[in-house]
Amino acid sequence: MTMYYATKAFVLMFSEGIAEEVKGSGVTVTVHCPGATATNFGETARNATSLYFRLGATSADKVARHAYRSMMKGKVVAIEGLDELADCLLCAIQSEGISQKARPLDEPNIMNARYCLVGGALALLFSTSVASAQGAWSAEPSQTSPYSSHPVEQYPPPSSAEQQAYHRGYQGAFTLGVPVFLNVDKDVVRPGADLYGFGGMDIGYAVFGLGLGAMWTPINFNNIPGVTGQGRSPMTRLYFAPEVRVQVPNNSPILPYIGITFDANWWRVKATEIQCGLYYCRRVAIFRFTPGMTAKLGLAFKVSHGSYLDIGIKYSLSGSGNFFFRREQWLTPYFGILFR
């Protein structure tokens, strides 16, 4: 490596000197110093599997574009990926008494160069420690190379599952379900309808949000012994539910998830009361509160980018609260749409 580093240092300092000599003439000189580059160089040098290449090899296209942009801007030294440290690093590799242009040794610039030397060395140590810093070597193997030339091993980009696991954004859903109460007379309490909307923050494997819903369950009073002339009326439930959802992003178009909600429910069946104001009275519906919770298991099938067909089942439980005489529970199969 002795000759390698020496020739690179010559090219760098020679270019700096020429750039200083032609300064102001309209001609510019640019020397480009890329770091690890995805070419055959690493394979030929038997260095392609080193940490330096595995953690930070830049594509040849990106390196070439950076070199062209730097040349068009008139930069003397262009270090791909470390532009902000370029000036200090260049001071570090220059000797104290030699520069592009001679100057008296008693000028304060010499002291600045010493400080820059120390700062540049520290920056160089830091940059090499993370393996993605830019060095001063990149070359295509010569045609007379004694080693066989093979493409550099390319590390694939993150899979779609990994990308979705790191996904950050919003998730929304709207579902239609059919609630079926358990441990009740099926001739009295019939299957109904449940409309539910959900929105939350999607952080990949988990979603935190809030749901709002309305549920109607038909009650056939004519089938209740001792009750006549009441017909059928809906039992209405209005609720909101903070929800925590755990999901499994993967390569397939299926997104499985489980969720749990803590429900605040307001129920009503024909309950009304008369409220009178200053000039008139009116009949208003009365809703009564019960606490509850819901567990759900679902599968979302991807139909287009960001859109899913949502299918699942919910198990809900409500305490007696101010409405029921006992704890009630029901199952709700549902389907709908999901966005993320």
Q: The tokens of 327 are what?
A: 């704890």
What is the per-residue pLDDT for 123?
52
Alpha helices in 22-93 (DSSP H): 41-44, 51-56, 60-73, 86-93
Question: Can you tell me which residue has the tokens 């000197």?
Answer: 17
Q: How far apart are CA 247 and CA 205, in angstroms?
A: 5
Tell me the whole-structure pTM to 2 decimals.
0.51
Instruction: Give the domain range for residue 37.
Output: 2-129
Q: Number of structural domains, the chain?
A: 2
pLDDT at 229: 65
Positions in the chain short of pLDDT 50: 83-100, 102-113, 126-142, 145
Specify the pLDDT at position 322. Answer: 87
Is residue 75 classed as helix, strand or coil in its secondary structure? Answer: coil
Residue-level pLDDT at 192 = 94
Separation in Å, CA 149 to CA 43, 70, 137, 145, 210: 7, 30, 18, 8, 58
Continuous H helices in 153-198: 160-165
**Do 103 and 248 fall into the same domain?**
no
Whether the CB-CB separation of 254 and 299 falls below 8 Å is answered with: yes
Residue 134 maps to a domain: no
pLDDT in tens, 21-51: 998 898 999 998 887 787 877 777 777 666 5
Judgement on whether residues 187 and 331 belong to the same structural domain of the protein: yes
Regarding whether 166 and 117 lie in a shared domain, the answer is: no
Distance between CA atoms of 121 and 8, rounded to whole angstroms?
18
Does 188 share its domain with 59? no
- Which candidate, 331, 306, 336, 290, places its Cα nearest to that of 196? 336
